[in-house]
Amino acid sequence: MATALSLESLLDPAFLESVARLRLVARQVPREGRFADQRSRDQGAGLEFRDHRPYSPGDDLRAMDWNLYRRLGKVFLRLFEELEDLPVYLCPDVSASAFHEEPPRALAAARTALALASIALAQHDSVALLPFAEHLQPLLRPISGSGRLMTFARALASLEPGGSTDLATFTRELGALRLRRGLVVLISDFFDPGGLDALTTALRNVRHRLLLVQLVRASDGEPALEGELRLVDCESGQSQDVSVTPAVLERYRSAYRSWNEGLAEFARSRGLGHLRLDVEGDIAAQLTALFQRGRYQA
């Protein structure tokens, strides 16, 4: 099975230019990061004044507000807002089905990951590449700096098909890495063999902010099938003989709508980002729609 991924298919200057003005903005940045563009919940020796707090023994007297001391006769410290990086963990689905059909979902996933990496690296955030199928496959540790985009693109171009999708195993292995909290971007069709309940249970176990990029195509909801067919699972190899009648197609459409609505409602109820991305459409335009006024708040 060809991977359909290459540097040539990913490094489209016009595509990257179209997302260059977009920004990821963190609600809160976890502690112990590097100096960058995001506003941290840490308060220390930054540049922008934020608050005062009473002096405690052991505090650095250089932060003392002498003007306030002269007015009130009490010792307060000036606190400044720290600017730190937002860790961004990009997790494309590389199960066998992602490389099936034309164009493959894997190509849309890789281009989406590259666009988001370009945005994050340009604003000095750290970015890691953590593809998954049956297991998490850490491929690129967190890197930073706009000059590292080519490194990220080469890593994406090396992605190869895995087995079947197993989000429960992926989320368990993600948690075991004990990564600094940040934004996890899951890029997948989310067709977990365990169904919607297994999917949402797995996602509840992720202790990071989540952005779900759901890769879809028109044939998912409206398959062009009819008659007596043998359907073969492209991941497991299992087959099933099916009589595709109008009634069977309608039951399938109903099940697919219900699954889609369930995933969307789960994302809404948990405050997760959720983008349904048509792999046959303009990826840059669809990503831009996620960034209201050029900003996505993670």
CATH value at residue 134: 3.40.50.410
Examine the domain organization and report whether 75 and 177 are in the same domain: no
Tokens 């707090």 found at = 53
Of 65, 84, 103, which closes a domain?
84
Examine the domain organization and report whether 79 and 98 are in the same domain: no
Residue 283 within a domain: yes
**Per-residue b or e along 220-254, where b marks 16 or more CB atoms closer than 10 Å to that residue's CB:** beeeeeeeeeeeeebbeeeeeeeeeeeeeeeebee
Examine the domain organization and report whether 75 and 93 are in the same domain: no
Report whether pLDDT(35) > 90: no
Tell me the torsion sign for CA atoms 292, 294, 295, 296: positive
> What pLDDT is stored for residue 76 in this prediction?
78
Residue 157 within a domain: yes
Examine the domain organization and report whether 94 and 171 are in the same domain: yes
- What total number of domains does the chain contain? 2
Examine the domain organization and report whether 140 and 61 are in the same domain: no
Residue 133 within a domain: yes
DSSP letter for each residue of 78-114: EEEEEEEPPEEEEEEB-SGGGGSTTTTHHHHHHHHHH
- 272's CB contacts (< 8 A; 6+ apart) are 203, 209, 210, 211, 212, 266
Interval 117-142 mean pLDDT = 94
Residue 238 within a domain: no
CA neighbor of 136 nearest in space, from 163, 97, 110: 163
Pair of tokens at residue 294: 């050029």
Q: Which pLDDT band holds residue 230 (cuts at 50, 70, 90)? A: very high
Examine the domain organization and report whether 156 and 71 are in the same domain: no
Examine the domain organization and report whether 105 and 172 are in the same domain: yes
Q: Which of 21-35, 43-57, 106-120, 222-236 has the lowest mean pLDDT?
A: 43-57
Residue 231 within a domain: no
> What pLDDT is stored for residue 30 in this prediction?
56
For 38-91, write each residue's pLDDT tens digit. 444 444 444 455 567 787 776 676 777 878 778 887 887 776 555 578 899 999
Q: Strands 183-188 and 273-278: what pairing?
A: unpaired
Q: What are phi and psi of 52, to 5 degrees?
A: -115, 160
Taking the C-alpha atoms of residue 213 and residue 281, their distance in angstroms, rounded to an integer, is 14
Of 47, 67, 84, which closes a domain?
84
Domain assignment of residue 49, given as a range: 35-84
For 107-119, write each residue's pLDDT tens digit. 999 999 999 999 9
> What pLDDT is stored for residue 63 in this prediction?
72
Examine the domain organization and report whether 75 and 116 are in the same domain: no
Examine the domain organization and report whether 59 and 152 are in the same domain: no
Interval 7-33 mean pLDDT = 81
Report whether pLDDT(3) > 70: no
> What pLDDT is stored for residue 39 in this prediction?
43
Cis before residue 131, ω within 30 degrees of 0?
no
User: In percent, how much of the chain has pLDDT > 90?
Assistant: 64
Q: Which pLDDT band holds residue 262 (cuts at 50, 70, 90)? A: very high
Mean residue pLDDT of the chain comes to 87
Beta-strand runs (E) in the chain: 23-25, 35-44, 48-54, 76-84, 87-92, 126-129, 140-143, 183-188, 209-216, 227-232, 239-244, 273-278, 295-297
Q: Which pLDDT band holds residue 237 (cuts at 50, 70, 90)? A: confident
> What pLDDT is stored for residue 81 in this prediction?
52
Q: Are 225 and 251 in contact (CB under 8 A)?
A: no
Report whether pLDDT(238) > 50: yes
Report whether pLDDT(171) > 50: yes
> What pLDDT is stored for residue 295 in this prediction?
87
User: In percent, how much of the chain has pLDDT > 70?
Assistant: 87
Examine the domain organization and report whether 197 and 125 are in the same domain: yes
Report whether pLDDT(97) > 50: yes
- 289's CB contacts (< 8 A; 6+ apart) are 275
Residue 227 within a domain: no
> What pLDDT is stored for residue 285 in this prediction?
94
Examine the domain organization and report whether 155 and 101 are in the same domain: yes
Bigger pLDDT: 28 or 217? Answer: 217
Q: Are 83 and 125 in contact (CB under 8 A)?
A: no
Measured distance between the N- and C-terminal CA atoms of the chain, rounded to whole angstroms = 36
Q: Which pLDDT band holds residue 282 (cuts at 50, 70, 90)? A: very high
3-class state of residue 202 by DSSP: helix
